[in-house]
Amino acid sequence: MRFEKGHKAATRRHIIDVASKCVRRDGISAAGIAGIMGEAGLTKGAFSPHFESKDALVREALASALSDQQHRLDEDQRRGLALEGAIRRYLNRAHLEDPAEGCPSAALLPEIARQPLSTRQDYEQALRSYVSSLAALLPDADSAASRRRATAIFGLMVGTLQFARAVRDTVQAEQILEGGVEAALQLARAPSSY
């Protein structure tokens, strides 16, 4: 059977997109190849022509999710979104309820720490880029203090989202999110000696 030109690349992209959602929703360990391929509408046998291992797929799926997250923040900045808007875009009910479409850090940090070195290095590079974009929203954007503060703000945002996802009570989860927004904004306004 012959396929149209570009079919293999399109299939690979589709598998990465599906895997990206599966690992954020279920976790890296729980997202198996058979399940990912099934959700992609493909057989498990279709996996090996595209990826040498699950680790290779996870690395690309994570990179895709991180790239999407960076793209959203960059687009928000181009539209003039201020830091508070970026924080509220991250710490909101929709993000709380949809880990499959959300931040890979909030969904996967403990598992990312256990991934092969190449995956962790890719994650670190994407993290630096995202933090730099957040730092650009702070008053003294180009300073080392601003980058440290942006790192702390992002850590607070990730932890807040994880914490809110862990509670069953939706009212309490909303309070956790709002508390995280308030704390992140206070940190953003902290003196530059931070």
Give this prediction's pTM: 0.89
Which amino acid, one-letter code, is at 34? A
Reference 157, options 192, 188, 128, 194; nearest CA is 188
Which residues contact residue 42 at a Cβ distance below 8 angstroms, ignoring those fewer than 6 apart?
A: 11, 15
Structure tokens at 193: 């000696």
Reference 27, options 111, 105, 117; nearest CA is 111
* The three-state (H, E, C) secondary structure of the chain, written as one string: CCCCCCHHHHHHHHHHHHHHHHHHHHCCCCCCHHHHHHHCCCCHHHCCCCCCCHHHHHHHHHHHHHHHHHHHHHHHHHCCCCHHHHHHHHCCHHHHHCHHHCCHHHHHHHHHCCCCHHHHHHHHHHHHHHHHHHHCCCCCCCCHHHHHHHHHHHHHHHHHHHHHHHCCCHHHHHHHHHHHHHHHHHHHCCCCCC
pLDDT at 145: 87
State the Cα–Cα distance between residues 181 and 176, nearest whole angstrom.
9
pLDDT at 193: 55
| pLDDT in single tens digits along all 194 residues of the chain | 555 777 788 999 999 999 999 999 999 999 999 999 999 999 998 999 999 999 999 999 999 999 999 999 999 999 998 999 999 999 999 999 999 999 999 999 999 999 999 999 999 999 999 999 999 999 877 788 899 999 999 999 999 999 999 999 999 999 999 999 999 999 998 776 54
Q: By the 8 A CB rule, do 18 and 39 touch?
A: yes
State the Cα–Cα distance between residues 61 and 16, nearest whole angstrom.
5
CA 43 to chain centre: 27
pLDDT at 143: 82
Q: By the 8 A CB rule, do 93 and 176 touch?
A: no
